[in-house]
Chain A
Amino acid sequence: MVEPHHDHDHDHEGHDHPHAEIAEAGRPGYYDIMETAVRELLIERKMIRADEIRRQIEVIDSRTPALGAKVVARAWVDPRFKARLLANGRTACEELGISFYDDTELIVLENTPEVHNLIVCTLCSCYPRPVLGLPPDWYKLKPYRARAVSEPRAVLAEFGTEISQDVEIRVSDSTAMVRYLVLPMRPDGTDSYSEQQLADLVTRDAMIGVIPVQLQGE
């Protein structure tokens, strides 16, 4: 993206963009300076430590959809793990060494031939970050948040996903404390796949529920 102010709700015209202007000259923008100032003041007051921020940046960088894909592939090959995952998403992920650095609950929603799940956060951007990393911008912007709950089939169609009319679509709205992860259906023709090969098929968008898991090249 070229546009630095990606996240405005389509309301660009006629406003000052101090951040963009100053950033062009290599100087931090207003909000960048505000972040540094707030952080340094809290460090000076010994309420937080600089190394905690550095460490948390490393944690953020370490969380990618590959972790969620590992969980999904394990659930596909191990029915007992799957049962534990559906009973308690958080403790099952922790079994695989995925720590939860926040105090959120994780509910895993299984897609079946009868039910297709979709996750959203209508109020803001709550997302299963310990297992998927940070959400994509479209997940945080108005069109997805507003419409996923009222016209999920139309939203899915915009991702190229057509769900049969006889399949129920369930949309789960995340909160600060409760996060969701979709367990997609295992594609046909993967009986001979190893667990790692299965994990390689599983994408972030499939675990949000906007697309199915597909064989490569499909």
Chain B
Amino acid sequence: MTDTQHLVSRLPNDIGGLPSETVQRIDHELEPWEKRCHALADVLDFHKIINTEEKRCGVEALGSEMVGKLSYYERWIVAFANILFRKGILTPTELALKMKEVEERWSHVGNDS
């Protein structure tokens, strides 16, 4: 096998059967934004704007570095943004401007509270 063959034969999500560590039985309550992100995913699916399979492929398309380093719902929201760009529903500029607007709503909250 060449050094790169495994990159071709297995995409980042395709981990079934690989060696891995002991299962740690961890869980957490979703943060509010994570729950909103999940609800957004469901609503996008209901309207056939982004279905579950497109979401999964969108996460895979983030590449192994982002898949490895972003948390579960971080991967989802970034994948949604990319899919919406690709479908021509949003542009990166529109999202950047809206994110700036949202961030400025919090400008009264200090960094050192």
Contacts and interface: CB of A to CB of B under 8 A. Distances in A.
Interface of A: 1, 4-11, 15, 19, 25-29, 31-42, 45, 47-48, 52-54, 56-57, 59-60, 101-102, 120, 122-126, 134, 136-138, 140-150, 155, 158-159, 173, 176-177
A31 B73 contact: yes
Nearest to A52: B43
Interface in B1-59: 13-28, 30-31, 33, 35-40, 42-47, 49, 51-53, 56, 59
Interface string B79-112: 0110010000110001100110111001001111
Contacts, number: 192
A7 B72 contact: yes
Contact of A123 (B14, B73, B111): B14
Contacts of B70: 8, 31
Contacts of A38: 40, 77, 80-81, 84, 90, 95
Interface of B: 13-28, 30-31, 33, 35-40, 42-47, 49, 51-53, 56, 59, 67-74, 77-78, 80-81, 84, 89-90, 94-95, 98-99, 101-103, 106, 109-113
B109 A25 contact: yes
Contacts of B74: 7, 19, 31
Given A143-B23, A158-B23, A34 B77 contact: yes
A35 B73 CA distance: 10
B98 to A, nearest CB: 4
A146 B19 contact: yes
Contacts of B15: 122, 142, 145-146
Contacts of A48: 40, 43-44, 47, 49
A39 B16 contact: no
Contact of B22 (A53, A122, A158, A177): A158
Contacts of A142: 15, 18, 20-21
Contacts of A177: 52-53
Contacts of B51: 176
